[in-house]
Amino acid sequence: MTETMIVPGTHPQGVTPVLEVENLSVTFPQSGADVRAVRGISYHVNPGEFLGIVGESGSGKSVSSMAVMGLLPSSAKITGSIRFQGQSLLERSDGELSRIRGKGLSMIFQDPLSALTPVYTVGHQIAEGLLLHDKKLSTRAAALRAVELLKIVGIPSPERRAEAFPHEFSGGMRQRAMIAIAIANDPKLIIADEPTTALDVTIQAQILEVMQQAKEMTGAAVVLITHDLGVVAGNADRIAVMYAGKLVETGGVDQVFHEPAMPYTIGLLRSMPSMASTEARLVPLEGRPPSLAALPPGCPFAPRCPIAIDDCRKAEPALVAQPGDPFHSAACIRSAEISDGTLERADVFPRPQPVAAGIPVENAGAEVLSVNELVRHFPLMKGSVFKRQIGVVRAVDGVSFDLGAGQTLGLVGESGCGKSTTIMEVLELTKPQHGGIRVNGIDVAQLSKRDRLKMRKDIQVVFQDPMASIDPRLPIHDVIAEPLTVHGVSRKEQQRKVSQMMELVGLDPEMASRYPHEFSGGQRQRIGIARALVTAPKILVLDEPVSALDVSIQAGVINLLADLQQQLGLSYLFVAHDLAVVHHIADHVAVMYLGRIVELGASDDVFNRPRHPYTQALISAVPIPDPTLERSRRRVLLEGDLPSPTDEIPGCNFRSRCPLYTLLPENLQQRCKDEDPSLRALEGISVACHHAEHDVLISTGTEGQCR
């Protein structure tokens, strides 16, 4: 990269930035072509500033920050300059860098499961960081300080917890421990690489809160790397958007979110399903990022850009300041037209028109799937010499719902709530432990083997991970045709149906002989959908169908699902943890907590006026990709983690975390302790809370609902 880069952003007089990155490039030599993961990026972070770096997988956002930390594998070729507090980092030896890492510069990693060493206690691992940088510190003093740090990050009974091993911590607690390690030596800069991606939404809200506290306490600057625009909207001061190894837009959080000047940013913002809006269709961002090993000349986004012109394909545009705002830069030759309104942002990525309904659903709304008091308990065994049952895991504990023809029921909840177990029980099509499952009015417990096989035609499944749900060794024709092989369909007929299905889901039938690894994640999920549809089912069970996909890919798949439902009159049982997605696609929604449904009703009713305190907390924890909205609302934070499903909790099982419970007078609390609430009708929805009428959480203003 020979082009000169302008360092954009605020440069208060006389203040040295904590971090200055200039023209940084990272290349990984490969046998074929070198992978240019980062291609000449420049940015800086001022003291105490919160910078959000946003990008999809493979955009180079993690690689660039690992380069700052000096933690890339030795095979990586790094050029440019990285200055931390004025001193250059790139030429330093591992020993010299070690004195800076953890002291001035610290990092929080994505996966709290694997980021802590399993064989040392959490307290030891925190104390280790302290001892490395303070030779005079005694081991005992370090251990005491570690306990103190655990307390700061909000871990209950820290003295005891410091002695525990990482596997005895929940995911959220491990991430708190990671933050404790990161702030141990009062660093000047904390880099957080997707710190909440692996966590549930209520835990994510807790962790973001702890990070803000940590930032205030230490006065450190924070660089938050994420793919989730919502996460940075409420926290960051400035945003940098990365695409294909380059910064494509930087600026203040309000500028970037409200007046994006780069089409990629516009598309990304418009493609996200938002809790704040329920447009009929999402705006898809078609195509996929280019391979970093073989970049064509010109703007790397041009192939996906709806407003690309010939000049875009000639030379790669540099990041230049926007007229009228020196702190807002974009790398697009048409950004001036976007800024001055010649090009409407809404027209750059127009919202697609809804497709016409195919056939009217016969007896629309009639029950196609009915689950009644479904129970699935797993025995929990313990004992080393003689196994004995010490309890039951109540994975599914009396779940009832109905799914109407042509409708979508969203099943939401955090991990461990039993939503996946519920659908697996449904898909078995056998007699459950307790309760009943009826498909098209037929009780599955009564089915003969042959009838059950026939029924499998009517109910099909799409799994979460398109990598895992497709056998890598079969060409996709065989993948899609597999359900047909069971029902004795002729080879010729199979081929006809496969190409028909591929057309239907937007894949070229010419590709039927290719193998799964030749397809992108989004395409593979389309293969999964085609396979599910090939038997012309009436019910589709969708197990987190978009959560493994990048944001820009998600919208296309969600639109496809919506279109297919319109055209084919399908009924969806849609399981997801992403409330925004469910809000967008579901007609009805069931919120699950610890194996139970705690709230059930029409999607709009539940999302606009949640009654159960858990639903309220869940909804308020979802970040909204709009800085103004994010700042104005306040959250209902849940205390602690999901209790173990083996615990016997008398009364209401949400009591231990319930924000409403703590606000109730004692006489009302008593009922929560004594009586297990069951679902009851309340103004058109069903809710399992004794005190759902108490709008304390809303009326006292401790929480602002999202619209």
Partner 1 sequence: MIGFIIKRFINYFVLTAIATLLAYVLASSALNPAARYLGRNPQPAPEVINSILDGLGVNPHVPVLERLWTWLSNLVMHGSLGMTVDNQQVTAVIAARAGVSLRLLIIGSIIGALLGVAFGVWGAVKQYRLSDQLVSYASFTVGATPTFVIGVILMILATGLNGITGHQLINFSGEYTAGLQGSFLVMFGDRLNHLILPTITLSLTAAAGYSRYQRSAMLDVLSADYIRTARSKGMSRNRALVKHGVRIALIPMSTYFAYSFALLLTGATVVELVFSWHGMGEYLVSSVQQNDINGVAGSVLFASILVLIAGTLSEVVYAALDPRVRV
Partner 2 sequence: MSMVEEAQVLPVKSEVSKRQARPSSRARIIFSKLAHTPRFWVGAVTLAVIVLWSLFGLAGYTYNAVGLDVMAMNTAPTAAHWFGTDQIGADLYAQTIVGLRKSLIIGFVVGPVSALLAGFIGALAGYLGGVWDRIIVWFIDLLLVLPALYILIMLYPLIKGGSWVIVMVYLAVFSWMILARVIRAQTSSLRDRDFVKAARFMGVKTSTIIRRHIIPNVSSLLIIDATLGVGAAILTETTLSYFGFGVQPPDVSLGTLLSSGTGAATTRPWLFVFPAAILVITVLATSLAGDALRDAVDPTSGANRD
Q: Choose, by CB under 8 A, the member of 156, 297, 365, 509 that binds partner 2.
A: 509
Binding of residue 559 to partner 2 (CB under 8 A):
no
Position 338 contacts partner 1 (CB under 8 A) = no
Rounded to 5 degrees, what are φ and ψ at 369? -135, 130
- Binding residue for partner 1, selected from 12, 32, 86, 118, defined by CB under 8 A: 118
Give the one residue of 460, 552, 554, 565 binding partner 2; rule: CB under 8 A: 460
**Binding of partner 2 by 186 (CB under 8 A):** no
Site residue total, partner 2 (CB under 8 A): 59
Write a three-state SS string for 96-114.
HHHHHECCCEEEECCCCCC
| CB of residue 518 to partner 2, shortest distance in Å | 7
Is 18 or 369 the residue whose CB approaches partner 2 more closely?
369
Tell me which residues in 346-405 interact with partner 2 (CB under 8 A): 358-359
From the CA atom positions of the chain, what is the Rg in Å?
Answer: 27
Could you tell me which residues come within 8 angstroms of residue 70 by beta carbon, excluding any fewer than 6 positions away?
89, 92, 94, 97, 101
Instruction: Kindly write out the interface string for residues 567-596 of this chain, putting x where it contacts partner 2 by CB under 8 A and - elsewhere.
Output: xxx---------------------------
Partners of 325 in the beta sheet?
A: 322
- Decide whether 94 or 428 has the Cβ nearer to partner 1: 94
Check binding of 129 to partner 1 (CB under 8 A): yes
Q: Please tell me whether residue 485 binds partner 2 under the rule CB under 8 A.
A: yes
User: Please, what sign has the CA dihedral across residues 7, 10, 11, 16?
Assistant: negative
Region binding partner 2 by CB under 8 A among candidate stretches 8-16, 439-447, 454-462, 676-684: 454-462
Q: Report the distance separating Cα 428 and Cα 459, nearest Å.
A: 10
Q: How far apart are CA 622 and CA 638, in angstroms?
A: 13
Shortest Å distance, C-beta 323 to partner 1: 41
- Asked whether 582 and 410 are in contact (CB, 8 A), the reply is yes
Q: Does residue 422 bind partner 2 (CB under 8 A)?
A: no
| Closest CB to partner 1 among residues 167, 351 | 167
Q: Are 505 and 526 in contact (CB under 8 A)?
A: yes
Bridge partners, residue 44, by sequence:
20
| Residue 640 Cα to chain centre, angstroms | 20
Cα separation, 644 vs 522, whole angstroms: 35
User: Of the ranges 47-55, 123-131, 465-473, 683-691, which one interacts with partner 1 (CB under 8 A)?
Assistant: 123-131
Contact code string over 10-49 relative to partner 1, x by CB under 8 A: ----------------------------------------
* CA distance linking residue 256 with residue 249, whole number of Å: 8
Please list every residue from 245 through 284 that binds partner 1, using CB under 8 A.
none
Q: Which is nearer to partner 2, 62 or 329 (CB)?
A: 62
Q: Closest separation between CB of residue 383 and partner 1, Å? A: 8
Backbone phi and psi for residue 560, each to the nearest 5 degrees, phi listed first: -60, -45
Q: Which is nearer to partner 2, 501 or 575 (CB)?
A: 501
Could you give the string, one character per residue 13-52, with x where binding to partner 2 holds by CB under 8 A and - elsewhere? ---------------x-xx---x-x---------------
Smallest distance from partner 1 to CB 94, Å: 5
516, 538 contact by CB (below 8 A): no
Is 656 near partner 2 (CB under 8 A)? no
Could you tell me how many residues of this chain bind partner 1 (CB under 8 A)?
37
> Dihedral through CA 567, CA 570, CA 575, CA 577, nearest 10?
20
Measured distance CA(70)–CA(93) in Å, rounded: 9
Instruction: Locate the DSSP E strands across 440-580.
Output: 442-443, 459-462, 539-543, 571-576
Of 260-268, 392-400, 492-500, 630-638, the window that binds partner 2 (rule: CB under 8 A) is: 492-500
Residue 58 Cβ vs partner 2, minimum distance, rounded to whole Å: 8
Q: Work out how close the CB of 576 gets to partner 2 at its nearest, in angstroms, rounded to a whole number.
A: 16
Query: Measured at the alpha carbon of residue 647, what is the angle toward residues 642 and 650, in degrees to the nearest 5?
Result: 105
Rounded to whole angstroms, what are the CA distances from 444 to 366, 426, 436, 451?
18, 9, 8, 9
Q: Which of 624, 639, 640 is nearest to 704 (CA)?
A: 624
Least distance in angstroms from the C-beta of 75 to partner 1: 10
Any contact of residue 416 with partner 2 (CB under 8 A)?
no
Query: Considering the complex, what minimum distance in angstroms separates the CB of residue 12 from partner 2?
Result: 34
In 405-472, DSSP assigns E strands to 408-412, 434-439, 442-443, 459-462
Per-residue binder mask for partner 1 (CB under 8 A), 371-400, x = binder:
-----------xxxx---------------
Place of tokens 């499903």: 645
Q: Which residues of 491-514 are buried (b: 16+ CB within 10 A; e: fewer)?
A: eeebeebbbebbebbbbeeebbee
Residue 315 interacts with, from partner 1, partner 2, none (CB under 5-8 Å by kind): none
Looking only at residues 59 through 98 of this chain, which bind partner 2 when binding is defined by CB under 8 A?
62-63, 73, 75
Order the strands of the 434-439 sheet from edge to edge: 388-404, 367-382, 434-439, 442-443
Give the shortest CB-104-to-partner 2 separation in angstroms.
Answer: 25
Nearer to partner 1, 114 or 277 (CB): 114
Token pair for residue 303? 């192939």
133 binds, among partner 1, partner 2, none (CB under 5 to 8 A by kind): partner 1
443 makes contact, choosing from partner 1, partner 2, none, with CB < 5 to 8 Å by partner type, with none
Residues numbered 48 to 107 that lie near partner 1 (CB under 8 A) are: 69, 71, 94-95, 98-103, 106-107
Q: Are residues 579 and 201 in contact, defined by beta-carbon separation less than 8 angstroms?
A: yes
State the Cα–Cα distance between residues 205 and 622, nearest whole angstrom. Answer: 8
Q: With DSSP H G I counted as helix, E B as strand and the rest as coil, what are the percentages for the chain, rounded to 5?
A: 35, 20, 45
Binding residues for partner 1, per CB under 8 A? Answer: 69, 71, 94-95, 98-103, 106-107, 109, 111, 114-120, 125, 128-129, 132-133, 165, 167, 178, 181-182, 184-185, 382-385
Binding residues for partner 2, per CB under 8 A? Answer: 28, 30-31, 35, 37, 58, 62-63, 73, 75, 358-359, 427, 452-453, 456, 460-461, 463-465, 468-475, 477, 482-483, 485-486, 495-496, 498-501, 503-504, 508-515, 517-518, 531, 533, 536, 538, 567-569
